[in-house]
Amino acid sequence: MKPITLTIIGMGPRGLSVLERVAHFVHILGWRDAIRVELVDPGECGQGTHYDTQPPHLLTNTLANQVTIFPPDSVAGGANAPSFIDWARQAGYRHFDGAFYPTGSSHGEEIGEQHYLPRYLLGRYFSAAFDLVVKTLPRNVSVHHHRRAARDVTAATEGGFSVHVDGGATFHTDYLILTTGHGKRKYDGTDADHAEFVRAYASSNDKLDFFPGAYPVEQLGRISPDATVAIQGIGLTAHDVISHLTVGRGGRFVRRAGKSHYERSGREPAILLFSRSGLPFSARAVNQKGAAGRYIPHFFTVSAIAALRERALALRGNTQIDFVNEVMPLVMADMAYARHVALSGSAPPPEQFVFDDAARAAIQAILDPIGARTFSDLADFRRFFRQFLLDDLAEVEKGNVKSPLKAATDVLRDVREQFRRAAEYRGFTPDSDKVFSGQFVNTLNRIVFGPPRHRNLELLTLLDQGVIEIAGGPGAAVFPQRDRAQFAIETAFGTQTERRYADVLVISRIDVFSPERDQSELVANLVSRGLIRSYRNGPYHPGGIDISPSNNVIGQEGNVNPRLWAIGYPVEGPHYYTQELPRPGRKSRLTLDAEICVQGIFQLLGAGDVAGETAPAATHASTAPVVG
């Protein structure tokens, strides 16, 4: 009998989670028929962007004890399925003054609960997990890895698809799951202008260069130490760029008289930093909740969301709710409650908590610390920026329970599931979705999902020693200065304008995936063949591929493809916060999404009622309008 063929395109953590669920269901169903799993990825299975050859100074932004690929019911992992920290300890990795080496137990210190490990180690963990999953597969399930990029997918007349990979090979698959992860955007008009400027004026300035994206950071090696580099963006990607241009070039941070100090290697370029908001990402607080602890909301609850939908249906004729006027007040109330508990040391009954104007103003100041404030000049803004870092680092040390500020912001991390229930599958009205996806998510990322605290301490050190300068304030803009053959960073302060100049411009942001803007040949072909379409909420496109609540891809004509699924970052739009890594002790969204896909396959194969959890966010989806 011909084996059933399942293909997974993209073998990062999402692809690995699909394979783990295949192993799970094959076991619990006692599946005997032959299954051939085709894996398409040019890299090592499991690693994705966490490839294990990247520089060791690039760190994960999640504590090692808060990451696992194995859900509690994992057949592959078993009762003792290793989390990231478990694996690192078992592999003999130890901590040596900010670095990690596999020396066993004789040297260094044990990896602790508050450690952020290098990204390359996370890649090795995922590869080890892949090996473990494959070893648990029965003989009737075979795995074949194509170390090529997928170039095209065509619908087969006999059902299923033909998958075309780099180099010309083609094979048939009955079922296909897209887990392609982060992409790269096409040049927009500004990118094209910057690139053309570099081409036209490189003969006048041999240091002139432009990087529309920061990754892989190894590309930054071509930047001359004599250059001045402007980094646009002050988030997590900027920290990677800064690290690569400093520690990655031989510099190092040391402690002197109890203070952080940076020792230059002499190969660092001059670094300028700016962004449109002007604000750095807040650092992650000392974790006081353990690996699985979380704030339980009192106002922004699942039942409150359901009540809002019922009210919207009665008032407006559909179940879409207003993020700005209906949801955000509930979110702010929970933030204020957590802040109050941290300030007072006691938790009043929620019904007795008064979310008054003072509490609202305190939360608004956390969300928008600049507000209506103005700055007299760049020096004035630089003083504000430095003090902001100092104040934030002081709150970091108090922890995510005891610090009023960090307790409030950590609420936004802990109510991700509520945000999913509210936002996903056109859950918000189109206009308010623009505010949520286009503005609030950026604010949330800045105040919640920032770097480890030592990264902001390093940034402060580099600022104080003049290795980095803040080049612009809020609203800063960059443009080619042709008479200087440099990029100019310009900020208006009242009636005056200040400029700084750079030879190199690095755009340090991660773009939301959009099939309309992605440069992948595979995505372009999927669009041109009508196999995928952009997700839209009315006329608004927040990003992502359109999918059904069962994660099946919706084609150009609005047809749900029963044999094609997509999960992870390509569906950031219909789904919310797909980049989350799974935590120990619970079945994460990553696992649930993979499970839905694998359940669908076995149901199509006649396995009957395949028991398992499903993602809860799509309960209202059928009542929301779908616009082609």
Q: pLDDT for 529-540, tens place per residue?
A: 999 999 999 999
Query: pLDDT at position 610, please?
Result: 73
**Of 103, 91, 92, 99, whose CA–CA distance to 116 is shortest?**
99
Token pair in block for residue 369 = 């610390």
Q: List domains and CATH numbers for the chain.
A: 4-179+580-605 (3.50.50.60), 189-277+452-507 (3.50.50.60), 302-449 (no CATH)
Q: What H or E segment, with its residue span, contains residue 176?
A: strand 175-178
- Strand duo 161-165 + 504-507: pairing: unpaired
Q: What pLDDT, in 10s, does the model give residues 116-154?
A: 999 999 999 999 999 999 999 999 999 999 999 999 999
DSSP state of 558: S
Token pair in block for residue 611 = 């028991």
Q: What H or E segment, with its residue span, contains residue 177?
A: strand 175-178
Instruction: Note the pTM of the prediction, 2 decimals.
Output: 0.93
CA distance 624 to 431: 14
Contact between 194 and 232 (Cβ < 8 Å): no
CA 60 to chain centre: 11
Contact between 504 and 269 (Cβ < 8 Å): yes
Query: pLDDT at position 611, please?
Result: 59
Query: pLDDT at position 625, please?
Result: 30
Token pair in block for residue 165 = 């990979």
Contact between 6 and 174 (Cβ < 8 Å): yes
**Of 43, 35, 93, whose CA–CA distance to 64 is shortest?**
93
Question: Which stretches of the chain score pLDDT less than 50?
Answer: 613-619, 621-628
Question: Which residues in 235-251 are b (16+ Cβ under 10 Å) and which e?
Answer: bbbbbbbbbbbbbbbeb
**Residue partners of 543: CB distance under 8 A and separation at least 6:** 437, 512, 513, 514, 535, 572, 573
Token pair in block for residue 39 = 């894996």
DSSP state of 327: I
Query: pLDDT at position 556, please?
Result: 96
Nearest-10 crossing angle of helices 441-448, 404-414: 130
Q: Strand, coil or helix: what is 362?
A: helix
CA distance 454 to 336: 27
Strand partners, 260: 255
CA distance 563 to 543: 23
pLDDT cut 90: percent of the chain above it: 87
**Residue partners of 27: CB distance under 8 A and separation at least 6:** 75, 136, 138
